[in-house]
Structure 1
Amino acid sequence: MIRGLFTAASGMLAGERRQDVLANNLANANTIGYKKDDSLMRSFPEMLLYAVNDHTGSGPQGIRPGMPDVGAVGTGAFLEEILPRFTQGTLKPTNNKYGYAIIDVDRPLNPQAPDARRKTFFAVTDGSGSSFVTRDGEFHVNQQGFLMNAAGLFVQAVDDQGLPAANSRIKLNDTGTSLEAGTVEENGEFTVNEAYRFDAVDVLDTDRLQNAGNGGFRYDPANLGARTGEVRQGFLEGSNVDLTETMTDMIAVMRSYEANQRVIRTLDGTLDKAVNSLGRI
């Protein structure tokens, strides 16, 4: 019975964490470029129980050959990992002239294929040396003329190799008619570089990305390549959250949570009888 309490409690804790993931997906259903998280559940190793005969005086550990087994019993579950899913979101038009959406190229459905986990992103930086990639293309120009997103991250320029250039940014020119790319010196001065341009980059293996929040992902520079997807101006990519699927999953998790609650209440009542009733006999 004590084992059953721990098993049911572990299921409740895992369900609570999964519900948090689903609730976060639901809250970001209208967030531009948001990629939903999937929670991977896993069970603890099962235990094989035996009908232990203690008449020999050897104690409950004395398992003799041929002793009948009761069967396997589960020992609980846990949430092993949370993985973002980088499927294409729905494109929608925008009046923001600095709004961009990425359209991924068709790739093999087999996740073991070399290019199956390759996706296109925008490269952004926080200005202090940390760089990220994002699918949020709802950019705007700040007071200094730099192109940035709603999270305050500056859009990085891409060099002639199709990779993010260090200390680079995109800026509106002095006449306010077009965007130009260049580098920002230590004194804050912006220098135009004709070899740089505004573009997106490819992440070769999205499984190696780390979620940094606000729609950004940390990356390994060796995991980047030149863009293969299409960048379309005047559109934004919506989230890839399926509201119907998410609500259905939340209901299923809640029912599982309630079932584990009933198990705990039943075991608690049984233990109460064993302690308070049988203990007096």
Structure 2
Amino acid sequence: MIEGIFVSSAALNVQQERLDLLSQDLENINTCGYKKRSLIIENNFKDLVNSNTESLLKKNIKDIPEINYSGLAPFIAHDYTDFSPAVMKETKVPTDFALNSEGFFVIQTSDNEQYTRNGTFSIDADGYLVNISGNKVLGEDGPLKTGAQNFLLAKDGAITVNGQSAGKIRVVTFEEPQLLLYEGSGCFSQPSQGAGLKDEENPQISRGFLELANVDLPDDMVNMIEISRTYEANQRVIRTQDDLLGKAIQIGNAK
């Protein structure tokens, strides 16, 4: 009975984690370049069955050990980010960029480099190309300075101002993108061990377009309802088992 409460409590924790990630996705549904996140949820049911299969097949019931039902408790194996591309929206804003290839723009923050698919850029007072947080967008040779919006942009990210080269937008890919750490606003950073960063030699960039978030609102609303029902069901199970446990204790005390 105690194990049953443990299993249901573990299920509540898993559903809460699912809800937290789902809420994050919905909060960022209007964040360009945002990538939705999900959980891989597992339990040890297969291991419990496999460990007792031989005895069950031989019908040697007496040889079957007592099953530890706490092994049925769900747990989060790991989380992951869905980096699949999303729909592109035309804005006609000259400083809005969208990547047509796999890869990330590189942003210089005060602490580190960050990587994003969010190409909502602008020109700051000093003439540098910056993101929505005011951090500089990096080119292959450092921060990009265009001076004004009337620069030319080639498909591969090369920038020309008044006939002179002003650098090339740096675009990178990762061998292990699932290792990237989410920093908010559609930005990621590398862990200390790295994630296999490589510069993309021939990126494909569209000017005047933005990649939207790859969040599926109808699908997320269905998941929200499913999480709510699962959470309520496990709460009822815990209450029922708690009541039964209380009655068992009363019977034991009466004896």
2: CA distance between counterparts of 1:10 and 1:4?
A: 10
Q: CA deviation at 1:233?
A: 0.2
Asked if 1:90 is matched to 2:87, the reply is: yes
2: CA distance between counterparts of 1:120 and 1:83?
A: 17
Partner residue in 1 for 2:228: 254
Map residues 155-174 of structure 1 onto 2, 5 A cutoff: 155-158=137-140, 165=141, 168-173=142-147
2: CA distance between counterparts of 1:195 and 1:275?
A: 79
Partner residue in 1 for 2:134: 152
Relative to 1, partners in 2 of residues 1:221 and 1:142: Cα closer, same or farther, differing over 3 Å? Answer: farther
What amino acid maps onto 2:72 in structure 1?
Answer: T
Q: CA deviation at 1:70?
A: 6.1
Q: CA deviation at 1:199?
A: 4.3
Relative to 1, partners in 2 of residues 1:179 and 1:169: Cα closer, same or farther, differing over 3 Å? Answer: farther
Q: How many residues align?
A: 233
Q: TM-score scaled to structure 1, two decimals?
A: 0.73
1: CA distance between counterparts of 2:42 and 2:14?
A: 9
2: CA distance between counterparts of 1:232 and 1:5?
A: 54
Q: CA deviation at 1:171?
A: 1.4
Asked if 1:230 is matched to 2:204, the reply is: yes
Higher mean C-alpha displacement, 5-14 vs 268-277:
268-277
Give yes or no for contact 2:37–2:82 (8 Å, CA) kept in 1. Answer: yes
Map residues 120-159 of structure 1 onto 2, 5 A cutoff: 120-126=103-109, 128=110, 130-158=112-140
What amino acid maps onto 1:15 in structure 2?
Answer: Q
Q: From the CA coordinates, give the structure whose radius of gyration is larger.
A: 1
| Equivalent position SS for 2:168 | coil
2: CA distance between counterparts of 1:142 and 1:270?
A: 66
Q: CA deviation at 1:262?
A: 1.2
2: CA distance between counterparts of 1:157 and 1:8?
A: 51
Give yes or no for contact 1:140–1:149 (8 Å, CA) kept in 2. Answer: yes
What amino acid maps onto 1:35 in structure 2?
Answer: K
2: CA distance between counterparts of 1:44 and 1:11?
A: 13
2: CA distance between counterparts of 1:76 and 1:211?
A: 28
2: CA distance between counterparts of 1:221 and 1:19?
A: 27
Q: CA deviation at 1:125?
A: 0.7
1: CA distance between counterparts of 2:166 and 2:23?
A: 44
Map residues 1-281 of structure 1 onto 2, 5 A cutoff: 1-44=1-44, 66-68=62-64, 73=69, 74-104=71-101, 119-126=102-109, 128=110, 130-158=112-140, 165=141, 168-173=142-147, 177-178=150-151, 196-219=167-190, 220=194, 222-281=196-255
Q: CA deviation at 1:176?
A: 6.1
Q: CA deviation at 1:213?
A: 2.1
Partner residue in 1 for 2:55: none
| Equivalent position SS for 1:279 | helix
Q: CA deviation at 1:121?
A: 1.1
What amino acid maps onto 1:136 in structure 2?
Answer: N
Q: CA RMSD in A?
A: 3.0
Give yes or no for contact 1:101–1:236 (8 Å, CA) kept in 2. Answer: yes
Q: CA deviation at 1:97?
A: 1.2
Q: CA deviation at 1:68?
A: 4.9
Partner residue in 2 for 1:113: none
Give yes or no for contact 1:123–1:200 (8 Å, CA) kept in 2. Answer: yes
Give yes or no for contact 1:172–1:179 (8 Å, CA) kept in 2. Answer: no
